[in-house]
Chains A and B, each alone.
Chain A
Amino acid sequence: QQQVKQSPQSLIVQKGGISIINCAYENTAFDYFPWYQQFPGKGPALLIAIRPDVSEKKEGRFTISFNKSAKQFSLHIMDSQPGDSATYFCAASIIGGTYKYIFGTGTRLKVLA
């Protein structure tokens, strides 16, 4: 119930293409879903986050789609660029209280020039 399953494990996309990363969760109490981007040797940095009261959130080339009934959410990177090559982690938590972040296992994205 505390797992967040992330797929694919790795992804190769041509420059200009769309990168799609998917996550699924079990705990229906989760109400905060951030995505983090991590470059080699660096700490994760928040990319975009969504709450379940909306089905989609867009920030620049990055979009989160959220399907509450299916308990799934996904990250779409439009017009993918070589600089987007990094590892992406989804996570889930509960606003308020003391519940911790549960992270997915990560997706290593490589965008070919």
Chain B
Amino acid sequence: NAGVMQNPRHLVRRRGQEARLRCSPMKGHSHVYWYRQLPEEGLKFMVYLQKENIIDESGMPKERFSAEFPKEGPSILRIQQVVRGDSAAYFCASNSAGPGYEQYFGPGTRLTVT
């Protein structure tokens, strides 16, 4: 039973480019969460999605960031026109029952903006 998968594991982008981060939840999980972890800091919630719906995006920056979880395929976190401050580890988590229950984390995507 494969766990949460994220790709790419490492992503380097120049300032102004777009970054696309992918997350495939565990089999049977329909709830997906994205977190950002800055160096030496804790995880900050960004967005919570169910299939085809954004449930809570209160942690998402207002501009340049977007997320989707289509009916088919992985969840995508998109960052447009990246800046150096976007450099961080982005983690995806999933579960089958909603936010109050155990969330299973993927290995993360480490984004470096040069």
A residues touching B (Cβ–Cβ < 8 Å)?
Answer: 6, 31-32, 34, 36, 41-46, 49, 89, 93-106
Contacts and interface: CB of A to CB of B under 8 A. Distances in A.
Contact of B102 (A43, A49, A94, A100): A49
B43 interface: yes
A100 B99 contact: yes
A-B CB proximity, top 8 nearest = A95-B100, A43-B105, A105-B42, A100-B45, A103-B43, A103-B42, A106-B42, A93-B100
Contacts of B104: 46
In terms of DSSP, what is the predominant structure of the interface of chain A?
Answer: loop
Interface string B5-26: 0000000000000000000000
A44 to B, nearest CB: 5
Contacts, number: 67
B69 interface: no
Contacts of B48: 98, 100
A32 to B, nearest CB: 5
* Interface band, chain B: 20 to 34
Contacts of B43: 44, 89, 101, 103
B100 A97 contact: yes
B45 A45 contact: no
Contact of A89 (B42, B101, B102): B42
A94 B99 contact: yes
Given A98-B56, A100-B99, A105-B42, A43 B33 contact: no
B72 interface: no
A103 B44 contact: yes
A15 to B, nearest CB: 25
A22 B21 CA distance: 33
Nearest to A96: B100
A62 B48 CA distance: 30
22 contacts: A36-B105, A41-B107, A42-B107, A42-B108, A43-B91, A43-B93, A43-B107, A44-B91, A44-B105, A45-B105, A49-B102, A93-B99, A93-B100, A94-B100, A96-B98, A98-B98, A99-B100, A100-B33, A100-B59, A101-B33, A101-B103, A105-B41
